[in-house]
Structure 1
Amino acid sequence: LEPRKKLTLQAIHYMTQRDIRKFDRIRELLTMHEELKKAKKDFENPI
C-alpha cells in the first residue's frame, strides 16, 4: 500500500472554490500562519 500524500494548497483551493465561507476561512488561516512564522522568526533572532 502506498502512504497517503500531503494535500497541496492547489488541491485545497480546488476543493473549496465553490464554498466561499470555507475558502475565506482557509485563506485567513494561511495568512495567520505566515504571520506567526514571521513573528516567531523575528522573536528568535532579535536585531
Structure 2
Amino acid sequence: MTDSPKRGYWMAMVDVADAEAYSKYMAANKAPLEKYGARFIVRGGR
C-alpha cells in the first residue's frame, strides 16, 4: 500500500463585503494551496 495524497474538494460561496480584506485573505491562502497541489476546477464571479 502506498501513501498517496488523498483527493478532496472544497466548495465555497462567498459574499465579499470588503474587497481589500478579501484580497489579502486570498493572497494568504496562495502558499498553502500551492504546497498541497491544489487547483481550481471551477471559478465564478461577476
Structure index of larger Rg: 1
Structure with bigger helix share is: 1
TM-score using structure 2 length: 0.37
TM-score using structure 1 length: 0.37
